[in-house]
Structure 1
Amino acid sequence: MVMLAMFLVLMVSSTWIQFVTAPQLNADPRNVRTLYREFGTNRGPILVAGEPVAESVPVEDAYGYQRVYPQGELYAAVTGYYSVIYGRTGIERYANEYLNGSSNSLWWNRLQNLISGVDPQGSAVELTIDPAAQQAAWDALGDQRGAVVALNPKTGEILAMVSKPSFDPNTLASHAISEVKATYQALNAAEGAPLINKTIAGNLYPPGSTFKLVTAATALEAGTVTPETEIPAPDQLQLPLSSSTLNNFGGASCSPTQAMTLADALRISCNTAFAQLGIDVGAPALGAQADAFGFGEKLSIPMPVTPSSFPIEIDGKPLDGAQTALSAIGQLDVRVTPLQVALVSAAIANDGKLMTPYLIKQVRTPDLSVAFSADPSVLSTPIDTQTAHDLRDMMIGVVQSGTGTSAQISGVQVAGKSGTAETVKGAAPHAWFTAFAPANDPQVVVAVILENGGDAGSEATGGRVAAPIARAVMEAVINK
């Protein structure tokens, strides 16, 4: 009886360890066997235009394979890193089941490996990134802090994703533990947050005058104005219920008559005109239109995108007139990612239809069969076709003879919008530009932000310093 009881206890304990608590034990960071098993798998490559930007190579150590990044810093915002100590980020994390071969869609491959005794191997993840656009964005941004993101507005494919300052994922994928720890601590404490992909996450930015596209869309959708409608454009706007006044950039006058068309107000980015327009349409309508463009949306590309926000309440109270006016020009508490700004332009470029953004084009198993292929889908229809065409024509005016002339491309019609966003008191403003080209048959949409004006500092405007970066990316795509 004692022997039988002991066997019973042994069977229960073994079952408990091997089945019930197995997931917890496998996930325990102290379990080095899990690390050895995972790093001992030939992880699939991450590909851009057929070339690996992340791949595994055999090494003679306890792990078996080393993750390497041939163009580390250039693609760091996309690939992330794969570290023995700090885990995974970027595509390495959010496409992990494909890369390590554990996805449910790859069960047949795993079964074949089990029967044949072949070592398991991950699948290749092919990205939507255009290498020419990525390189152009990287080069044009230079050593300035900021971010660039580009899309195909007709499909939602992400063509470029650059965040600076960047980092070299190879330094975190190393198997030299002490060196990896020192590097991570230095990067984590570094000024400019190099480990954060600023195109989709981090501390979001005030959009400045790029938000005037949303304000204009709100008024056009309501049917209260057309591009040729004259709207008030005073030299100075007295904010409602406030002793404060709002001036135009540099204290300039928008119009000698104190009024101008909506198209001209967007062309020269008149603050007072759009602040008054925001008051007229109201905060709830602005918020609803922003939501229609994707504000507040929890997107996965497959990395999660921090939702942009247009708050219609502050401290539990609805926005008053002054707060609405400032929000209508992209200030106060309005916050966005560069991807969100690109999505607003993408909807305008695509006749009012906003396509779901994505980074993974295709997944191929080791035998080259397709395990996954992206199927472009419509995320929303924030504006009707006529509004989209009106906004497109107004944005063409911005580039032809307004604040965005630095985005002009010879022989190609470009539509764009500049932005200069105030930040904390005493700091230089952020410089924005968003655009698409060719205007009547768009192949690429781009959004650029330079933190605190980049090299130009307090002298920067979006049209002066961010527009040339957008132009370089658009040219790279169009001239392929």
Structure 2
Amino acid sequence: MNKPLRHVWLVVGVLFVLLFTSTTYFQVVAQGRLAAHGQNQRTLQSEYGRHRGPIVVDGHAIATSQESGDTYGYLRTYDPGAMYAPITGYYSVVYGFTGIERSLNDTLSGEADSLFYHRLADVVSGRENQGASVELTLDSAAQQAAWDALDGRRGAVVALDPETGAILAMVSAPSFDPNELASHDTGAVSAAWSSLNEDPERPLTNRAIGGDLYPPGSAFKLVTASAALETGDYTAESVIPGPGKYELPNSSSVMNNFSEGRQEPCGPDDESTLAEALRQSCNTSFGMLGVEIGQDQLRSTAEEFGFGQDLSIPMGVTPSRIGEDLDDAQLATTSIGQYETRVTPLQMAMVGGAFANDGVVMQPQLVQAVRTGDLSTVSELTPKEVGQPLSAANAAQMRQMMVGVVKDGTGSAAAIDGVEVGGKTGTAEWGEDRSPHSWYVGYGQTDEQKIAVAVVVEEGGYGSRTAAPIARDVMEAVIQR
């Protein structure tokens, strides 16, 4: 073989090796990465071209798949959209998915391991594979009441069944219309996406379980009071100090009690009972109480309520927290819900629920059941405990004190005739020259029904005026029907 011919065969051989290598790489080594790439049209058509199960509340499908007659096969639609959007999330051919659409994607698409035999039955019978339906725990009346009561103001409402952890309402406002992001008009979707992300009101943030979190203000005094009772050294009738002002230990800062613009003590001789201090929301009483019981007791009680825990409902929940390595001045401020204390409304609803459940905190859950197209049940809600921050006896004392707050204190706007309602308001400072956040945390119960609720309205001012009436409306929607 002459030299030029050998060169040709050498080049052909190298090309065959390169072709084999590249084919092997793309079909074997990089197959998973390329299949998962967001711009892979085959993957997109495979993903969006299959029927997706509905998301259901009280028998009404709030998210459904409809044949679209285009390349993608099915279009996801939401009804009503904005009220449930922070929960359902969106299912977009451009930007993927969020919320329940993301966290239960395998279930809704029919690809979950738990649906294997259902898929097999579809293959044998020749039916098109369909995703399972996801039934949420939400109470449509409570959700509507929370949505209407917030009335577009920035904030969030969470309501729970204290005995099971079932989430009855979860509203975050302002919200968005997921139909705009689920559209197959990619240009319109991109424009909607840009508008939502540029909106300073942050409508895509689920304020109920994440975002920047909130200082709870005086609503955190429920945790401090619980920690004090659990030491065994205090009862609701224990007399504690409550001067008009408290010079924080080793600090130049002063903690005050204000009443109509004046520094006021919390009782005669600068003292009051623990119950009276909670009713008045006495800052100095709880600041001094937190220092007295100590950081370890306060932290362990908060952790039993769920602080610091990674929760899945099944969407991920940002853990609530208090500061680390606190000195006494920081501990005093932490004990009234300030300093570095940051919470989600979901966490504070868990706090309120513990008192109505004999001191036991249940894991919050959004999914009541998963069912196949023939209504076979794949899974159902199973109540699980998160912790027990206080005994049943101490929970009873807390309920007595919280009822006093609603009957004769700052929480009177949450009262409901014929219903035991206990709670705590909060007015949380969070920035210079900014109005404080408005809070209400509590519970309502009758012989037949219990509900725990947490409300935060950003820059809403006094909790007694803004948050408490919202909580009342939500509790009424569940209890009085």
Q: TM-score, normalised by structure 1?
A: 0.94
Q: Tell me the SS of whatever aligns to 2:370.
A: strand
Matched, 1:371 2:359: no
Amino acid at match of 2:72: Y
Aligned positions of 1:32-43 closer than 5 A: 32-43=41-52
Q: Tell me the SS of whatever aligns to 2:379.
A: strand
Per the alignment, residue 393 of structure 1 pairs with 400
Please, what is the CA RMSD of the aligned residues? 2.0
Aligned-pair CA distance for 1:249: 3.5
Aligned-pair CA distance for 1:439: 6.6
Per the alignment, residue 72 of structure 1 pairs with 81
Aligned positions of 1:16-415 closer than 5 A: 17-250=26-259, 251-253=262-264, 254-313=266-325, 319-415=326-422
Per the alignment, residue 472 of structure 1 pairs with 473
Per the alignment, residue 5 of structure 2 pairs with none
User: Rg bigger for which structure?
Assistant: 2
Determine the C-alpha separation between the residues in 2 that align with 1:126 and 1:381.
Answer: 28
Aligned-pair CA distance for 1:312: 2.6
Per the alignment, residue 456 of structure 1 pairs with none
Amino acid at match of 2:273: T
Deviations 1:72-109 (A, max 9, x none): 01111110111111111111101111100000000112
Amino acid at match of 1:326: T
Unaligned runs of 5+ in 1: 314-318, 454-459
Q: Tell me the SS of whatever aligns to 1:34.
A: helix
Aligned-pair CA distance for 1:59: 1.1
Per the alignment, residue 461 of structure 1 pairs with 462
Determine the C-alpha separation between the residues in 2 that align with 1:183 and 1:283.
Answer: 47
Aligned-pair CA distance for 1:435: 1.5
Matched, 1:432 2:439: yes
Deviations 1:371-400 (A, max 9, x none): 111111112112111111111110010001
Q: How many residues align?
A: 469
Q: Which runs of 4+ in 1 moved over 3 A?
A: 1-20, 249-252, 439-442
Aligned-pair CA distance for 1:252: 4.3
Q: Tell me the SS of whatever aligns to 2:404.
A: helix
Determine the C-alpha separation between the residues in 1 that align with 2:170 and 2:405.
Answer: 25
Unaligned runs of 5+ in 2: 1-8
Q: TM-score, normalised by structure 2?
A: 0.94
Deviations 1:226-256 (A, max 9, x none): 1001100101111111122111144442223
Aligned-pair CA distance for 1:18: 3.9
Q: Tell me the SS of whatever aligns to 1:447.
A: strand
Amino acid at match of 1:298: D
Q: Tell me the SS of whatever aligns to 2:51.
A: coil
Compared with structure 1, are the counterparts of its residues 156 and 327 closer, same or farther at alpha carbon in structure 2 (3 Å cutoff)?
same
Deviations 1:391-450 (A, max 9, x none): 111001000101100001011120111011001111000000011111777511000000
Determine the C-alpha separation between the residues in 2 that align with 1:63 and 1:420.
Answer: 49
Q: Tell me the SS of whatever aligns to 2:236.
A: coil
Aligned-pair CA distance for 1:52: 0.5
User: Which moves more between the two structures, 411-420 or 113-122?
Assistant: 113-122
Determine the C-alpha separation between the residues in 2 that align with 1:282 and 1:345.
Answer: 23
Percentage identity across paired residues of the two chains: 51
Compared with structure 1, are the counterparts of its residues 119 and 7 closer, same or farther at alpha carbon in structure 2 (3 Å cutoff)?
farther
